[in-house]
Chain A
């Protein structure tokens, strides 16, 4: 059997190889992330059927909990690690043509390490280890946001770093409190003893940890850094930050709240916070004239929707939330990739400068349109079944409160539709001044975009392809007794 440790060790080893490969050939360095992501994708997909039956527990170094560090590869972990590997693979292909200037070898190394950090967060079963991998993810993204080195990039990176470092400090205090209370760092071990201690310090620890992780997960009101960072980073990095990094942050929050703390009384609060995040994100996105900022605010909105779905905490709604994570990764990463070359060709991030792009870059514009339709939730794209599942699960309980809330969610979707259609209208139906020659994105970039397009359509038409994984993921999150039992035996 393949151990899930390989999902971390092999990419990490390859990441350390990138500078050595870069000494020989700068061009070859760009292919290392492709190989590593491909490896992870294959291993994750091969392990998926196994973990659907029973999660794989790896005690690193052979030390059982609470002494050593445990990796927990369940359906959620494997789903997200496959998603990270998939997005990582496609975006690293895109970067082969997109990242031409600057210290490219360092870019590819940091990019690899960002993916390693993200994979580590979703696989670990130890709170302190989660912190360490979280920091690998965050520190590499601080550096990558400043990669272009222009005024906006530096400013965004500084803001991101300060808010992120503050969040990390709070997270670490929370972890210290947990250790002080329980004498262990293993998530399952902590969860098993949750009832045995005074609830007040536990609540303080939870508040610190949720706020600390919430900065990266872009939960309102901790997301002031996000529009700056996601709009100023190179577009390939924006795609990964929006598609992967914030979702991994959200996963960490969910894992702590659902599994470790298991506080079902807080779930409705999270649903409210999610709704608030959703409405604020979509309203701000509507007000933007800068296309990348618009997409960044839209990511905040999408995170809100996912939190809302998870906060309802029924099997269907959590399945819907996980589904929405998948569809957001595919859709938003595609949008950022498409916009990357549109902005590159037009030389400006203003939406008005995209006039006539439908004729100038027809394939890229087509990819953008598919991504936008999917995010809004139009059939037959992947955004439709995921949003549909969330709405259906909220209405299933016949609760008036949830029906009112879902009305607001639908309102947010209308706003989302409005700003995306505005961009599509600009791209296709407004004629740019002068007739520029047709000049689409390079073949590699187009190929990577159309991988996402294909997945969006295929999963949109056949959602049953992944619903098994999503459903067992939902039950992994909701049934913490099983989680505890499978780790502690």
Chain B
């Protein structure tokens, strides 16, 4: 798909539009913020679904039987925890200027909490607190959106703005274009898709099926990213004044992939929760053993 050479040029005005030099961030939290709201909702749904599926699974047994963590882990945690938090916050806050953003920063911050969980098995995150945080942060997102809607009615932004137009389809220069180089990503992506499909069709063990789904998802995401890639393309970040969009990769697929990854993770989490329930109910992970529903 070499037709997508200069798709980034459509976003020349991104800095003025959204105030971010990182165009991917502009797309994620500006142009397509509604998708991001949907993505947050999907995560919320998955968390609730997980709770609902595991709720009747018969109690949360304490983690009393778990061995305490080693000295190295618990001591290292004291030093690492604040550093990881700081690093995550930096990626988060600086996301509109440099590579990174809410998604990546959030993942780093979450890993800090996972480390705490590993190093002191006795510790538990308050369920009440986390569910209240979940709800309120979602509400803040919706509230800001509605606020924007109200303000937007006062000041219509789509008026009086002339776009650079959609310059597309500048043919590739053809500087020694090799077939393999252009298509290797697509081949890789569809290889993964094929492996995932094969696993889903052949395997009957639930965990293996879920692994298949995960590989399939990875393949799809890789395909999405490849759609926006151009050879020797750089990240779509206007980091220096005067840096034009030429030679930058298309930011939209990158934003889509961020959303798609989160949705994929949500499905996987729910699938694994169901697998736990399935195992507890049937005593096996073999789908063929489940014969409750036949006609």
Which chain A residues have a beta carbon within 8 Å of chain B's beta carbons?
Answer: 3, 5, 9, 12-13, 16-20, 23, 59-64, 66-69, 102-103, 106-107, 109-110, 113, 116, 120, 128-129, 132-133, 135-136, 139-140, 142-144, 146-147, 149, 151-152, 154-158, 161-162, 165-166, 168-169, 172-173, 176-177, 179-181, 183, 185, 227-228, 231-232, 284, 287-288, 290, 293
Contact = CB atoms under 8 A, between A and B. Distances in A.
B239 interface: no
Contacts of B281: 151, 154
B251 to A, nearest CB: 11
Interface in B264-292: 266-267, 270-271, 274-275, 277-278, 281-282, 287, 290, 292
A431 to B, nearest CB: 28
Interface in B99-142: 128, 131-132, 134-136, 138-139, 142
Contacts of B3: 183
B260 A183 contact: no
A132 B152 CA distance: 24
Given A128-B35, A180-B1, A180-B4, 5 more contacts: A63-B30, A139-B263, A154-B278, A157-B274, A231-B293
Nearest to A137: B45
From B148, B152, B217, name the one whose CB has the most chain A CB atoms within 10 angstroms.
B152
B132 A166 contact: no
B48 interface: yes
Contacts of A157: 53, 274
B31 interface: yes
Interface in B230-276: 250, 252-253, 256, 259-260, 263, 266-267, 270-271, 274-275
A365 to B, nearest CB: 25
Contact of B38 (A133, A143, A151): A133
Contact of B128 (A23, A110, A142, A287): A23
Given A113-B41, A287-B295, A61 B33 contact: yes
Nearest to A229: B293
Given A68-B32, A106-B48, A135-B42, A165 B253 contact: no
15 contacts: A9-B149, A16-B44, A17-B135, A18-B135, A62-B157, A62-B158, A69-B34, A110-B52, A129-B38, A139-B49, A139-B267, A149-B53, A151-B290, A155-B290, A183-B3
Interface bracket on B: 35 or more
Contacts of A147: 52
Nearest to B224: A176
- Secondary structure of the B contact surface, majority rule: helix
B96 interface: no
Given A132-B263, A162-B213, A176 B227 contact: yes
A190 B274 CA distance: 38
A59 B156 CA distance: 10
Contact of A166 (B45, B142, B148, B200): B200
Nearest to B152: A62
Contact of B42 (A9, A62, A139): A139
B35 A16 contact: no
B177 to A, nearest CB: 18
B223 interface: yes
B28 interface: no
Interface in B9-35: 10-11, 17, 30-35
B39 A63 contact: no
Contact of B223 (A136, A140, A176): A176
A161 to B, nearest CB: 6
Nearest to B269: A139
B31 A67 contact: yes
Q: Which 9 A-B pairs have the closest CB atoms?
A: A143-B49, A62-B157, A132-B38, A149-B56, A16-B138, A180-B227, A13-B142, A103-B55, A155-B290
- Secondary structure of the A contact surface, majority rule: helix
Nearest to A12: B142
A158 B274 contact: yes
A322 B155 CA distance: 38
B45 A110 contact: yes
Contact of A59 (B41, B135, B158): B158
B9 to A, nearest CB: 11
B274 A161 contact: yes
Given A61-B30, A129-B38, A154 B148 contact: no
A288 B295 contact: yes
B52 A103 contact: yes
B252 to A, nearest CB: 7
B103 to A, nearest CB: 15
A298 to B, nearest CB: 14
Given A113-B44, A168-B267, A169-B220, A20 B148 contact: no
A41 B149 CA distance: 21
A207 B76 CA distance: 53
A144 B139 CA distance: 23
A113 B256 CA distance: 22
A61 B267 CA distance: 29
A139 B142 CA distance: 20
